[in-house]
Amino acid sequence: MTAPAIELKGISKAFGPVQANKDISLSVAKGAIHGIVGENGAGKSTLMSILYGFYKADAGEIWINGKQTNIPDSQAAIRAGIGMVHQHFKLVENFTVVENVILGAEDGAMLRPSISKARKVLIDLEKEYGLEVDPDAVIEDLSVGHQQRVEILKQLYREADILILDEPTGVLTPSEADQLFRILGRLKEEGKTIILITHKLREIMDITDTVSVMRRGEMTATVKTAETSPAQIAELMVGRKVLLQVDKDPANPGDVVLDVQNLRVVDPTGVERVKSISFQIRAGEILGIAGVAGNGQTELLEVLGGMIPAQGGTVTLHGEQIDLTGRESDGQSRRRRGIGHVPEDRQVEGLIMPYEAWENVAFGYHYDVKYQSGPLMNNAAIKADCAEKMERYDVRPPNPRLPARNFSGGNQQKIVVAREMDRQPELLLIGQPTRGVDIGAIEFIHKQIIALRDAGKAVLLVSVELDEIMGLSDRIAVMFDGVISGERLPSETNEGDLGLLMAGVNETKGAA
């Protein structure tokens, strides 16, 4: 029997008082696809960073192909045949594919010989693994799926035998994800070992041979994928039984709350992001907007939330016009009109990371009279309000004095959700409600959204997670290239159908 491709023995790593990895042992056979799942902060990234030489383990050994290997930096990882495809691509946008591939692996001071050599190697690699990309295409002209292929090619060019992929499908359409999985299958056939880090249980079930579950820095289980079920993995991840399906009653839509007509958004560079779209949302209804990231959903949320001006169209809330360009077009005015907004990116938009939790609980609502005392802010009142919200929304730890950055992703999101939903807004704009949020918190946030709907409020949900869209929405609209490419009822559609709409193919209903 050949030695395993990777063997980790007793890896431990602490950051201050936080034990990120506790005595972790893992063995991955050559030519296998091994999944690693776990909630945010479970220690997956730390473990992979140790394997790739970003961090040094406090204790433990790394064995590669049966040999004990010391990996002090990423150069050493590359020499040991380990390649990493990051969640956020590390590509130079205005370089060509070849230029990106040789970056950092040039043969000499002059570029021309290395480029022509690399082009040959690249074409061979592409043929071997079915990774077609034009070697001379410029990165920014490529689709996200193709950019990811370049990342994989980069690792193969460096003769990586072990590939680590960190959340590779987060930015892909379903069909692009399928293509990626075909490529991974091909790589596996050629004897490459693949580690797939993901939080999507479906992917684990579809493609991996074995799967390890991490929880609170420990490896809680390693099982053969064929012998397990999504429910069992979810339970191992969270440590208790979780509801994977969203539980909700049929919608009971009332009057029209939000009416959007011919809304247009042009960004500062002159690109039309939202192209004259129209839709309505009724009271007690959730409209889900599906689509691959970057097709105008972000701008739609931002314009409705008062972050950017519109270039045309009208929006009414309960029949009353909303100012889209003038003095009343800012986030403050929107909040006064009863529009809550959970933004897509909580770390950059929704929270001030160095602010303590109580300061964040007032964020955007700091003009609220109950937060004032004379000319000063009533910090005591805000803190009390925060403590109370933290308890009801199960924010852990329930400490209003902790800076936002010290909370886990799920608890950060709960702070935002508590702030925006607790006031029972007439209309809730919510973008990527559970991105980077652990399973337990996902369940909680979904329940809150359903509860708001059942209270007769309108919800506009934007998400790139099809499962989430299908599970929560009462109606689904798909955005592609700034327009709504189709609208479906969740009961009358499936992932394949939505996937086509997301790719801009509008077929008649019922095709699957």
Report, in Å, the least distance between residue 20 CB and another protein. Answer: 14
Report, in Å, the least distance between residue 247 CB and another protein. Answer: 31
Closer CB to another protein, residue 219 or residue 322?
A: 322
Half-sphere exposure of 335 (CA within 13 A, CB side): 18
Binding flag, residue 370, another protein (CB under 8 A)? no
Binding flag, residue 12, another protein (CB under 8 A)? no
Contact positions with another protein (CB under 8 A) in 14-53:
16-17
Contact positions with another protein (CB under 8 A) in 53-82:
none
**CB burial of residue 138 (10 Å; 0-12, 13-18, 19+):** middle
Report, in Å, the least distance between residue 355 CB and another protein. Answer: 7
Q: What is the strand order of the sheet 285-290 is part of? A: 339-342, 427-431, 458-462, 285-290, 475-480, 483-488
Report, in Å, the least distance between residue 354 CB and another protein. Answer: 6
Binding segment for another protein (CB under 8 A), chosen from 48-56, 197-205, 324-332, 451-459, is 324-332
Binding segment for another protein (CB under 8 A), chosen from 74-82, 152-160, 360-368, 473-481, is 360-368
**CB burial of residue 484 (10 Å; 0-12, 13-18, 19+):** buried
Closer CB to another protein, residue 419 or residue 475?
A: 419
Report, in Å, the least distance between residue 268 CB and another protein. Answer: 11
Closer CB to another protein, residue 41 or residue 145?
A: 41
Binding flag, residue 355, another protein (CB under 8 A)? yes
Binding flag, residue 338, another protein (CB under 8 A)? no
Cα–Cα distance, 170 to 14 (Å, whole number): 28
Binding segment for another protein (CB under 8 A), chosen from 73-81, 164-172, 250-258, 359-367, is 359-367
Binding segment for another protein (CB under 8 A), chosen from 19-27, 56-64, 399-407, 451-459, is 399-407
Closer CB to another protein, residue 160 or residue 462?
A: 462
Cα–Cα distance, 84 to 221 (Å, whole number): 24
> What b/e sequence results for 397-435 when a residue is b if at least 16 CB atoms lie within 10 Å of its CB, and e otherwise?
ebebebebeebbbbbbbbbbbbbbbbeebbbbbbbbbbb
Q: Is the dihedral of CA 141, 146, 148, 154 positive or negative?
A: negative
Termini Cα distance of the chain: 45
Q: What is the 3-state secondary structure (H, E, C) of 88-124?
A: CCCCCCCCEHHHHHHCCCCCCCCHHHHHHHHHHHHHH
Binding segment for another protein (CB under 8 A), chosen from 29-37, 62-70, 225-233, 334-342, is 334-342
**Position among 109, 226, 348, 369 found at the interface with another protein (CB under 8 A):** 348
505 alpha carbon, distance to own chain's centre: 24
Binding flag, residue 363, another protein (CB under 8 A)? yes
Q: How many residues bind another protein (CB under 8 A)?
A: 37
Report, in Å, the least distance between residue 412 CB and another protein. Answer: 13
Cα–Cα distance, 437 to 360 (Å, whole number): 19
Report, in Å, the least distance between residue 363 CB and another protein. Answer: 5
Q: Residue 420 corresponds to which tokens in the numbers above?
A: 């925006």
Cα–Cα distance, 479 to 461 (Å, whole number): 12
Report, in Å, the least distance between residue 304 CB and another protein. Answer: 12
**Position among 366, 370, 396, 509 found at the interface with another protein (CB under 8 A):** 366
Binding flag, residue 405, another protein (CB under 8 A)? yes
Paired sense of beta strands 82-85 and 312-317, if any: unpaired
Cα–Cα distance, 417 to 447 (Å, whole number): 12
**Closest by CA position to 356, among listed 388, 404, 322, 321:** 404
Binding flag, residue 1, another protein (CB under 8 A)? no
* Bridge partners of residue 13, in order along the sequence: 21
Amino acid at 205: M
Tell me which residues touch another protein (CB under 8 A): 16-17, 305-307, 330-335, 341, 343, 348-355, 359, 362-364, 366-367, 372, 375-377, 379, 399, 401, 403, 405-406
